[in-house]
Structure 1
Amino acid sequence: MHFALYLFLLAAGSIVGFFSGLLGIGGGILMFPLLLYMPQVFGLDPIGVKNITGLTMIQGFFASLSAMFFYNKHNLVNKSLVLTLGLSLFLSSLAGSFLSKIVPDKPILLIFGALAFTASVMMLIPRSYRKDEMTEDQVAFHKPTAIIIGVSIGFLIGMVGQGGAFIIIPILLYVLKIPLRVALGSTLAIGLFSSSAGLVGKIATGQVPFHMAAALLAGAMPSARFGGFVGKKTKTQYLRWLLAAIIIGTAAKIWMDIFK
């Protein structure tokens, strides 16, 4: 049974790692429901919600790190945006991850569902694709707004064990008006701040099963770089709609389970 579990985690890491690189996400929006619902489908024991939050956090950190190097090489990571939003996310995410240890599973699912629903609504807002091929040196943004956003959402994404890319990307696109490719590349780097803070809290409170994390990462890291390569060659409107579909589907599934 242990071998089957590790094989499942390796496959899950590979699949989610690819989408991490393709869509500029840490992968938690996919990994969380995958680990929550799929083990039982394959006859495996369920994985506890707190262990899932720890696994999604560590997978998100290393998949983001792997894919970010690809985006940075192509001038799609805006350093000023990363530092401004990333640092403001760090402390609030750290606080949320520590508090999550004493919060029951149901409220954590509610928070995750609320964030995913908000992100899905934002991703359906019509937008222009005209500037999406711009590189990071052509991008400007309002720093005070970015700081307020970071502090506001950091605590919540730390609670649910996410790097937060699924909510950060819509905010970059629709609030800060960042071109899509720079938003994807910068979000991977921003996610390193929030996921590293959350990861410290998860490890310190014993919520990361390292033997399972090793199998997850073995699949995630190489596939994340490949996903970045495919994403660079894919039209931005297709990336946006794929990301929207993933967020909407995950939000719908989680809310169905909450009400059930």
Structure 2
Amino acid sequence: MDTLFYITMTLLGFVGSFFSGMLGIGGAVINYPLLLYVPSALGVGHLSAHDVAAISMFQVFFASLAGVLAYQRRSGTEGSVLHKGLVAYMGTSILVGSLIGGVASGGLDADGINLIYGILAVVAVILMLIPNRSAQSGSNETLQFNKFIAVSAAFIVGIVSGIVGAGGAFMLIPIMLTVLRIPTRTTIASSLAIVFISAIGGVIGKLIGGGIPLWPMVFTVIGSLIGAPIGSKVGAKLDVRLLRYGLLILIGFTAVKVWMPILVK
């Protein structure tokens, strides 16, 4: 039973981090519902919402780190370039927010965590449906964005993502695309770096809050370290429209999955 459980955790970590690298997300947007429902559905184990939030935060940390390193190795050769200014402004703000959210999550029950996640997913879907016709073009050196909106949005996303154990990219990417009007490939590459910084605060918050399931987390992280570089390589070769639609479908699916039990209750 334990062997099957840990194999399942490794595979789920791989799946989540594959999409992390491909779409520029931390992976929690898909890993949260997978970890919450798949082990129970297969009869190999059970994880509470608090367990899943803690595991997801560590998975996001390592998956985003692996994804950033993979993108950096190919920076400038395949059109996937980090924007250092964007990462600095949004990364610093989201770090503070995720630290606050990670500590605060210990005082919420499972239903509260699931509700917050469900609301975030719905908002992200709505933002992704907004046409992005006015995205900027040109090099990263000439890229301009509203710093106040970037910092404020990152701080708010950091708080709520720290609560549910997510890096926040599934909210950051729609904001960067539709509000800040950042080009898709720059958004995907930069968001992974921002998510990694966010995960630092989230991990510290989870460590302070306690209650981390050690071995399930370890095996999930192992899968993440394998899947993220593969996903980033695939994502760099895909059309930007496919990446955007893929993220939209992914977020929409997880939103429905999380809201179903909430609405039933």
Q: Aligned AA for 1:142?
A: N
User: Mind listing any 5+ residue stretches in structure 1 that lack a counterpart?
Assistant: none
Residue number in structure 2 paired with 1:119: 124
Quote how far apart the aligned CAs of 1:243 are. Answer: 0.3
Residue number in structure 2 paired with 1:89: 94
Tell me how far apart the structure 2 counterparts of residues 183 and 78 of structure 1 sit (CA, whole Å).
Answer: 8
Residue number in structure 1 paired with 2:234: 230
Quote how far apart the aligned CAs of 1:128 are. Answer: 3.1
Quote how far apart the aligned CAs of 1:129 are. Answer: 8.7
Pick aligned residue for 1:250 from 230, 233, 254: 254
| 1:64-105 deviation line (CA, Å, top 9, x unaligned) | 000111222314111111110111111121111111101111
The answer as to whether partners of 1:163 and 1:192 remain within 8 angstroms in 2 is: yes
Taking the TM superposition and a 5 Å limit, the aligned residue runs for 1:52-201 are 52-73=52-73, 74-75=75-76, 76-128=81-133, 135-201=139-205
The answer as to whether partners of 2:121 and 2:170 remain within 8 angstroms in 1 is: yes
Residue number in structure 2 paired with 1:213: 217
The answer as to whether partners of 1:129 and 1:236 remain within 8 angstroms in 2 is: no
Quote how far apart the aligned CAs of 1:130 are. Answer: 7.5
Quote how far apart the aligned CAs of 1:131 are. Answer: 5.5
Tell me how far apart the structure 2 counterparts of residues 207 and 54 of structure 1 sit (CA, whole Å).
Answer: 8
Taking the TM superposition and a 5 Å limit, the aligned residue runs for 1:9-20 are 9-20=9-20
Quote how far apart the aligned CAs of 1:15 are. Answer: 1.1
Asked whether 1:25 is paired with 2:25, we answer yes
The answer as to whether partners of 2:135 and 2:177 remain within 8 angstroms in 1 is: no
Q: TM-score, normalised by structure 1?
A: 0.95
Tell me how far apart the structure 1 counterparts of residues 136 and 180 of structure 2 sit (CA, whole Å).
Answer: 13
Residue number in structure 1 paired with 2:45: 45
| 1:204-246 deviation line (CA, Å, top 9, x unaligned) | 2223222112111111112211111110100000000010000
Residue number in structure 2 paired with 1:34: 34
The answer as to whether partners of 1:180 and 1:236 remain within 8 angstroms in 2 is: yes
| 1:109-161 deviation line (CA, Å, top 9, x unaligned) | 111111100000111112239757x5533422111111111222221111111
Q: TM-score, normalised by structure 2?
A: 0.93
Q: Aligned AA for 1:219?
A: G
Quote how far apart the aligned CAs of 1:14 are. Answer: 1.2
User: Mind listing any 5+ residue stretches in structure 2 that lack a counterpart?
Assistant: none
Q: State the identity %.
A: 36
Q: Aligned AA for 1:229?
A: K
Please state whether the residue corresponding to 1:59 is helix, strand or coil. helix
Please state whether the residue corresponding to 1:16 is helix, strand or coil. helix
Tell me how far apart the structure 2 counterparts of residues 186 and 21 of structure 1 sit (CA, whole Å).
Answer: 12
Tell me how far apart the structure 2 counterparts of residues 199 and 252 of structure 1 sit (CA, whole Å).
Answer: 27
Q: Aligned AA for 1:38?
A: V
Tell me how far apart the structure 2 counterparts of residues 118 and 203 of structure 1 sit (CA, whole Å).
Answer: 29
User: Aligned in 2, Cα 1:58/1:125: closer, same or farther, shift over 3 Å?
Assistant: same
User: Aligned in 2, Cα 1:6/1:135: closer, same or farther, shift over 3 Å?
Assistant: farther
Q: Aligned AA for 2:70?
A: F
The answer as to whether partners of 2:19 and 2:27 remain within 8 angstroms in 1 is: yes
The answer as to whether partners of 1:67 and 1:188 remain within 8 angstroms in 2 is: yes
The answer as to whether partners of 1:53 and 1:207 remain within 8 angstroms in 2 is: no
Pick aligned residue for 1:240 from 220, 238, 244: 244
How many pairs does the alignment contain? 259
